[in-house]
Amino acid sequence: MTSPLLDALAERGFDTLTDVQQAVTDPALASADLLVSARTGSGKTVGFGLAIAPTLLGEAETLGPPAAPLALIVAPTRELALQVSRELTWLFAKAGGRIATCIGGMDARTERRALERGAHIVVGTPGRLRDHITRGALDLADIRAVVLDEADEMLDLGFREDLEFMLGEAPEDRRTLLFSATVSPAIAELAKTYQRQATRISTLGGERQHADISYQAVQVSGGDGEHAIINLLRFHDAPTAIVFANTRAAVARLTARLANRGFAVVSLSGELSQDERSHALQAMRDGRARVCVATDVAARGIDLPNLDLVIHADLPTNTEGLLHRSGRTGRAGRKGISALIVPDKISKKASRLLKWAKIEAEWTQAPTPEDILAKDEARLLSDPLWTDPVEDEETRIAAGLMEQFTPDQIAVACLRLYRAGLTAPEELNQPPARSAGSAAASFGPSRWISLSVGREQRAEPRWLLPLLCRAGNLEKSQIGKITMQAQETHVELAEAAVQGFLDQIGPSGVVEGEITARLLDSPPADTARARAPKKSRDRDFERPARPAPRTPRAPRTETASEASHDVRAQDQTEAKNPASEPAAPRSKPKPDSGTRDKSARPARASTPKPSKPAYARSKPEGRPDHTPKRPSKPGSAKAFRPARSDEAKPRQSESGQGEKRYRADAPKGAKPFRSDKPQGGEGRPDRSGKPLGSGAKPYQSDKSDPGKSFRKKKADAGKSNRPGKPFARPAGKPLNKGGDAPPRRKK
């Protein structure tokens, strides 16, 4: 490590390096590609600055005049890019390094001018860096090192295509350093594609919980989440605190709520412009604001001074998010608190999240107003103002107060003025007690008894519990676990209630009826209900032979009722219509009309129901199917004719002149078209009484001009829609080419 870098670290107060900084500055890895996994707040920014220093400086102590960039640092968010730029600025200041920042939301023309003036290191976000590369403002020809900070977050945000584009534009002999909190399959694939035999460095260790962070799971009732946040901020009174929410809407709501309650609060979310983000972070660093409400993405990688409290208003979606959020505190040896707001409905989800993250959290309740007032009193008494030196002006004012008021009045006034600048605490509802394992673990000292009934006697806890309370004068809270066995039941009782229970049941130990109880010397062994072994699917036996052969079933008799309603079976048709007898004429059958032959029906075991309603019994018993209709008049019925087939002869008319021709355009039931009807004027008598012969001319309206055929007279000009033209069809368009436009008139 060169002397300019050592001097910069000494000025910043670095006595020793962190684990990740020591690992990446190993001289054996000076030219190797690195894949580093380290928790948030472990000094990664200074670490990769020290790692790329030998690549940029070489054997020199300082960097030369700035020209084309030598290193490219890519960060997922604007805030993280600005933070990296600030860290590298002081680290390379004595080495003559110039840093250029290219992030979205800033003026691109100013950034292009900075790139034209030259820079040794370029820091930016993926989208803006790619834009400068495609426009020719950023040249990567001389790049020696590329660093991807928070690479897993950039892939989650959808920057994979931009990263691959920039890595493809950089020279192949560059160094590539990937820093990621977790190495997912996507990160491993990216490293395999764009790194050359990368060295894997991990400083996470087996235990993932940060030693300087105290985790708390704050139980609240359903609607007290925001009230609990206010009480936590008041109770801890941290110099700087951050509240995490999952959505922009939640950030806006919490910011407005805290501002209304008197907190100095700012917000960070994706809907803010870059200027608004910069002003918010600067207010937190200056002390003008003490609370920051932010989303995960907006607060990724930000480093706020004296950040002692992190509140999770909404649970993070995964363990990595929980660790990243909590990593904002507990930095540089300072202690921090990470508090999760856990409503009763999601307590199990919070337990699983902490378990998967390998974090042991303290389950507690939100501070009450009494706790907050007591904390305020302790802070008031320990305030350094009591021991600060007194100035002359203050002595004069104090003497005047002592002359006008008593010491008690002055003390009460000071207390009221002190509390006037504080936010009033919130009253909270009592959250429900944790169920299942947590309640059982806090049952306290206990003894066990054995009841003389078990599963085989159909014993159930739902009726054993009230039985024990009634017989032993116990309360429900004094009874713990109930384990069912085959012949007995083990019940856990609070140690303070055991003697009273034994006195109630007496020396005989009879609880009720035949149920007795006895005190056990030690807790029973954990005898879980034994399950019956699964039967093998493989048969290791032969199926026994049947005692007797099955009796063959008689053939099923086919009855007439199985035939269709419209089409009868062939044998029934032949029985009704023998071939020797001529077919009787019959009309077209009705669908499902008439009754069936009752002689073909099988006999019923019970009395059959009447086949017809009462009003129809006076009619004849029924006639067979396919009988001709009864004629309306005697002798007017026509003989039955079979249906016409393709091979049938042409239909003859009554006059024997061949088949009649029917008009296709005539409605159904129209009379047939007569072929012998006279056509045109043939055979038509004239009004004068003389018939018109075959060669006669048609009627003419204008006798003076026999060459003109009959036409409708032209309408008068006044009655037409166009002058001198005949009427168009009703509701039709005008007879011109203009559509609905008025007709043109000749000038």
What is the 3-state secondary structure of 498-551? HHHHHHHHCCCCEEECCEEEEECCCCCCCCCCCCCCCCCCCCCCCCCCCCCCCC
Q: What is the pLDDT of residue 734?
A: 56
Fold of 441-519: Alpha-Beta Plaits (3.30.70)
pLDDT at 564: 43
User: Which of 506, 440, 452, 518 lies closest to 479, judged by CA?
Assistant: 440
Residue 512 forms beta bridges with which residues? 515
Beta strands in 142-294 (DSSP E): 145-149, 175-180, 199-202, 213-220, 240-244, 265-268, 291-294
Burial category of 453 from C-beta neighbours within 10 Å (exposed 0-12, middle 13-18, buried 19 and up) = buried
265 pLDDT exceeds 90?
yes
| 92 or 649, greater pLDDT | 92
pLDDT recorded at residue 146:
92
Residue 728: pLDDT over 90: no
pLDDT exceeds 70 at position 721 = no
Task: Decide if pLDDT at 95 tops 60.
Answer: yes
Identity of the residue numbered 577: N
pLDDT of residue 361 exceeding 50, the answer is yes
Average pLDDT over every residue of 107-111:
91
Instruction: Please check whether residue 453 is in contact with residue 476, taking contact to mean a CB–CB distance below 8 angstroms.
Output: no
Reported confidence tier of residue 620, pLDDT bands at 50, 70, 90: low
pLDDT for 482 beyond 60: yes
Contact between 255 and 295 under an 8 Å Cβ cutoff? The reply is no
> Is residue 161's pLDDT more than 70?
yes
DSSP label at 661? B
What's the pLDDT band for 571 if we cut at 50, 70, 90? very low
> Could you report the per-residue pLDDT of 394-416, keeping only the tens digit for each?
888 988 888 999 989 998 998 88
pLDDT at site 26? 87
Q: What is the pLDDT of residue 6?
A: 87
* 449: enclosing H helix or E strand: strand 446-451
273, pLDDT greater than 90: no
Residue 277: the pLDDT is: 83
pLDDT of residue 372: 92
Q: Exposure pattern of 667-685 as b/e (b: 16+ CB <10 Å)?
A: eeeeeeeeeeeeeebeeee
The fold adopted by the segment(s) 3-202 is Rossmann fold (3.40.50)
Fold: same for 3-202 and 441-519: no
Q: Report the pLDDT value the prediction gives residue 439, as an integer from 0 to 100.
A: 44
Q: Is the pLDDT of residue 125 over 80?
A: yes
Share of the chain above pLDDT 90, in %: 20
pLDDT of 432: 72
Higher per-residue pLDDT: 638 or 390:
390
**What's the mean pLDDT in 153-163?**
85
Burial category of 161 from C-beta neighbours within 10 Å (exposed 0-12, middle 13-18, buried 19 and up): exposed
Burial class (CB in 10 A: 0-12, 13-18, 19+), 184: middle
Q: How far apart are CA 196 and CA 192, in angstroms?
A: 8
The CA-atom distances, in angstroms, between 94 and each of 62, 71, 81 are 8, 18, 21
In this structure, whether the domain defined by 213-378 belongs to CATH 3.40.50.300 is answered with yes
Q: How many CA atoms lie within 13 A of 30 on its CB side?
A: 10
Q: Are 235 and 379 in contact (CB under 8 A)?
A: no
User: Both tokens of residue 664?
Assistant: 């296709």
Tell me: pLDDT of 688 over 80.
no
Q: How many residues does the chain have?
A: 747
Residue 241's beta-bridge partner residues? 291, 309
Q: How far is CA 38 from CA 42, 180, 210, 302, in A?
A: 7, 7, 12, 16
Confidence grade of residue 445 (pLDDT, cut at 50, 70, 90): confident
The pLDDT score that the predictor gives to residue 189 is: 86
Q: What is the mean pLDDT of residues 222-230?
A: 90
CB atoms within 10 A of CB 153: 22
Question: What tokens does 597 get?
Answer: 């032959």
CA distance 377 to 370: 11
Give DSSP secondary structure letters for 40-81: TTS-HHHHHHHHHHHHHHTT-SS--S--S-SEEEE-SSHHHH
pTM of the model: 0.52
User: How many other C-beta atoms are found inside a 10 Å radius of the C-beta of residue 119?
Assistant: 22
The pLDDT value given to residue 579: 45
Instruction: HSE, CB side, 13 Å, CA atoms: give it for residue 68.
Output: 11
Please report the pLDDT score of residue 569 as a whole number. Answer: 43
Is residue 73's pLDDT more than 60? yes
- In this predicted structure, the answer to whether residue 359 has a pLDDT above a threshold of 70 is yes
Number of H helices and number of E strands within the chain?
21, 19
- Residue 279 and residue 327 in contact, taking contact as beta carbons nearer than 8 Å: no
Mean of pLDDT over the chain: 77
In whole angstroms, give the CA distance from residue 402 to residue 410: 8
Handedness of CA 475, 476, 482, 484 (dihedral sign): positive
435 has a pLDDT exceeding 90: no
How high is the pLDDT of residue 341?
93
Output 316 or 682, whichever has higher pLDDT.
Answer: 316
In this model, does residue 368 exceed pLDDT 60?
Answer: yes
Q: What is the dihedral of CA 609, 610, 613, 615, to 10 degrees?
A: -140
pLDDT at 562: 46
pLDDT tens per residue across span 281-301:
889 888 899 999 998 877 776
Domain boundaries, the chain: 3-202, 213-378, 441-519
Instruction: Say which range, 54-58, 303-307, 721-725, has the weakest mean pLDDT.
Output: 721-725
User: What's the pLDDT at 298?
Assistant: 75
Strand partners, 510: 516
pLDDT at 381: 87
| 713 pLDDT higher than 60 | no
Return the pLDDT at 133.
93
Q: Is 608 a residue whose pLDDT tops 70?
A: no
What is the enclosing helix (H) or strand (E) of 36? strand 34-37
**Average pLDDT for 17-24:** 85
d(CA 580, CA 574) in angstroms, rounded, equals 11
Range with the lowest mean pLDDT among 221-230, 452-461, 617-626?
617-626
- Least confident interval from 33-42, 49-58, 620-629: 620-629
Q: What is the pLDDT of residue 115?
A: 92
